[in-house]
A and B are shown apart, each in its own frame.
Chain A
Amino acid sequence: MRTPRSKRVRAATSPAVAAAVVEIGFIPTRAKLIEVAAFLDRVERHGVAGDFRCVALRAAAALLTDGRGRRARRILEKFSDPTTEPETISSGKAALGAWRGVPPPLKHVTPPAKNSTTSRKR
């Protein structure tokens, strides 16, 4: 039996490399996190925060700060189809990025009313 890869995590690198991981990675990651925040604000502003993908995104984002490791893996699992049997028929459509579960009936999304209190500068 092979030793599972997860049991063979590589030791930490030198302090200089560790510092570089932060120096190089922080700004791009900060930018992506703000993009996430802005996206969540945007979908609320446009009244589509209930879209199953947005719901999935918020649920996945919660894993970022739960204090546990393997965040990338767990977030990918969170978005994944948890079923195990092959699909009987093809939807003919592309994957959407988050598992929809049992498809709900199509619901028309109402755009924000013109007199909405949410102001938008153009």
Chain B
Amino acid sequence: MRYIEPHGHMVSRTTDDYQAMVMAGCVAVCEPAFWAGYDRGSVEGFRDYYRQLTEYEPARAAKFLLPHFSWLCLNPKESEDLELARDVLALIPQFLDRPNVLGIGEIGLNRNTRNEMTVLERHIELAVQYNQLILVHTPHLEDKLKGTNLIIDLLRSHRGVKPERVIIDHVEEHTIERVLDQGFWAGITLYPDSKSSPPRAVDMLEICGREQIWLNSACDWGVSDPLAVPKTAIEMRRRGYDDDFVDAVLFRNPHRFLSQSPKFRIGDSSAG
């Protein structure tokens, strides 16, 4: 089995995790910028983080023969300081031509505030200006439905946004259909206690079809499982899905979306 981990915060994982992922069939990992667990105090903190995502982490992954790609942004949790956000967004273009950078992400909303909306809009404009793919984080728990609707409305209102170049992540049963019906890609995140479980993820595939959907672990420093994606393959097989179905969802789908960036090359010509 081969799979792509399209959303993993590997800076907060161990080398044992890299090894386990490769042994389970992982052929590429993509790492969106995220919140460090504390608010960074200056634009230089972000510069260091972007260097980590574009220099150090790809080298660490390469020790396990795993191609590593990244996405850059200011996380929505850090959007309340508009002055800092402006400075960080001005920094990002300096890193967009790095060989492993696929786009702008994970942008989005956290508590659905006006300032978060302002910074989200600036990120969208940046992505359009530099022709970057977009990876969107949707809010947690009770904020997800409202936040997803606000995000979709904002994306749809921007004429430069092509929905097929945007993935809206962390969908659940109450948000996935609107995301897909508007032409966006949908990411299902597999978490032990929140977001989705493997059985619910397969339920959503049964209800919505398998097109324009990827699965990810979004593994980070919280309760999460870097092997959640391959474990979901077990649930698919239990329900009678064959190797082609598993390969389509876990490898070909993310490969198709990510290949819209010319930088996403993992040396496999059978991606279909």
User: Known contacts being A4-B181, A10-B209, is A87 close to B142, with CB within 8 Å?
Assistant: no
Does residue B240 face the partner (Cβ distance < 8 Å to A)?
Answer: yes
Q: Are B114 and A95 in contact (CB under 8 A)?
A: no
Question: For residue A17, which residues in chain B have a CB less than 8 angstroms away from its CB?
Answer: 239-240
Of all chain A residues, the one with the shortest Cβ separation from B206 is A10
Indicate if A111 sits at the interface (CB-CB under 8 A): no
Residues of B within 8 A of A91 (CB): 111
Q: Which residues does chain B contribute within 8 Å of A72, judged by CB atoms? A: 172-173, 200, 203
Interface of A is mostly: loop
B11 at the interface (CB under 8 A from A): no
A42-60 at interface with B (beta carbon < 8 Å) = none
Which of A9, A20, A99 is in CB contact (< 8 Å) with B142? A99
Set of chain B residues within 8 Å of A96, measured between Cβ atoms: 141-142
Q: Write 24 A-B pairs (CB below 8 A) sorted by A numbering.
A: A5-B180, A6-B177, A6-B207, A10-B206, A14-B240, A17-B240, A20-B240, A21-B239, A25-B199, A72-B172, A72-B203, A76-B144, A79-B141, A80-B142, A80-B144, A80-B145, A81-B145, A83-B146, A90-B110, A94-B140, A95-B139, A95-B140, A95-B142, A96-B142
Query: Could you list which residues of chain A lie within 8 angstroms of chain B, going by C-beta atoms?
Result: 2, 4-6, 8-10, 13-14, 16-17, 20-21, 24-25, 70, 72-74, 76-77, 79-84, 86-91, 94-99
